[in-house]
A and B are shown apart, each in its own frame.
Chain A
């Protein structure tokens, strides 16, 4: 194929504008594309216009301070961004590549420049910029929302903890109420119904001696009622006293005090009582409660010792799972937990035929322990002995 290239045609139909200017900026030649871009006729440009005529004031300053010195320094310059002003005064963005053409002696003859219309690209850039600004704004907004969500999550967590605390408290109260209802239904109703029946007997009777006898029965029942009520009031006081003051207690000291109180009983029982509080010697606990708890447990252990052997009683403390344990062990009569386990800590429940059995001690002990957030459990074998395990304060899981 025979193929000849018309360089003049190529120059004129090139997709970029070209022009040629003298060192002073006067344009001495341009292609058609340049004329199309600027909307001028050839006659209006060639020999008439200077490069800087196409520039705005800002463009002219940039031309003088950046473009011209840079071109002079290296003889070539690429991708300089100007706004070119058309004949009608409107402007469009261009990129200029320029190269100095010199003679053999290095004298600057003229400058050739290529002009690329970047209107579309500028539009994209603008759009990108807008999009970027929007994205930034959105990102900031998201950050704000995220922060807000984080705050709310924290608040919800806090509320959840509060609810859990409250729930725990309610559960406790519920248990207390149900135990209270049980006590009211069993321990209070019995003496009251006796009183009602005795009153009927009394009213129907005319024999004075018989009336006096009936009244003595009334007195007995009133005594029961008074006792039960006092125990209930005491337990309600303990349960209501949620924020009781905690003291720094020394187990050894409280135990010594308990031993002193029970001095006579210990002597009579010939019990061998030992203790070891070295693992946890001190704790923060209501002093009144720990005194009452130790007194109850020790007096129980002495009272229910087996008659055929020397009572051996050991109290000690332990640290387990970050909880303080107080343990009371004896080799006494023991309790049949299968039979009595469910009511061991109930009010007025006794399991031994013992004249001092009143069944109040363990009920009060349990009430006190639970009021402070602890727990009491029991292990026992009949005729082997009993162990009470007290967790002073249960861990919150």
Chain B
């Protein structure tokens, strides 16, 4: 049986990072499709607009912590209040260039966050995450 590949969402204001992460995922054929947003508010709007349309709701979100307008932490707060309206359970990975221990501590305390990924991007780490992701989907 052919397992369906996940729908991935990347939320990051850093367009270069968006490009690189998408490229790794595409080159390794890890996702069915990738949708990208430059800040939390755009992504939240998308989720709200498509909550009835399960096929458009991503399986996993790569969420940057530090963004303008609505940052990763604020997105998590907002997501927590709408997630009951979603049929799908979204796995969220917090992405950040920060090595600030305060940020890591903060992420580990939030139940919505499955894992914390420190930039820069590394193929190995991404492959590991997708293996784990496949097993829970």
Contact = CB atoms under 8 A, between A and B. Distances in A.
A350 B120 contact: no
Contact of B97 (A189, A201, A359): A189
A8 interface: no
Interface string A324-354: 0000000000000001000100001111110
Interface residues of B, number: 21
Q: Give the dominant DSSP class at B's interface.
A: loop
Contacts of A350: 68-69
Nearest to A195: B120
Interface of B: 14-17, 19-20, 23, 66, 68-71, 74, 97-100, 119-122
A248 interface: no
Q: Give the dominant DSSP class at A's interface.
A: helix
Given A339-B74, A351-B68, A189 B20 contact: no
Contacts of A339: 70, 74
A190 B20 contact: no
Given A350-B69, A352-B69, A221 B16 contact: yes
Given A350-B68, A357-B68, A359-B68, A189 B16 contact: no
A135 interface: no
B99 A185 contact: yes
Interface residues of A, number: 24
Contacts of A351: 68-69
A130 B93 CA distance: 92
Contacts of B97: 185-186, 189-190, 193
A220 B20 CA distance: 13
Interface in A352-372: 352-353, 357, 359
B50 to A, nearest CB: 21
Contacts of B66: 186, 190
- The CB with the most chain A CB atoms within 10 A, among B16, B71, B99, is that of B16
Given A349-B68, A350-B68, A189 B17 contact: no
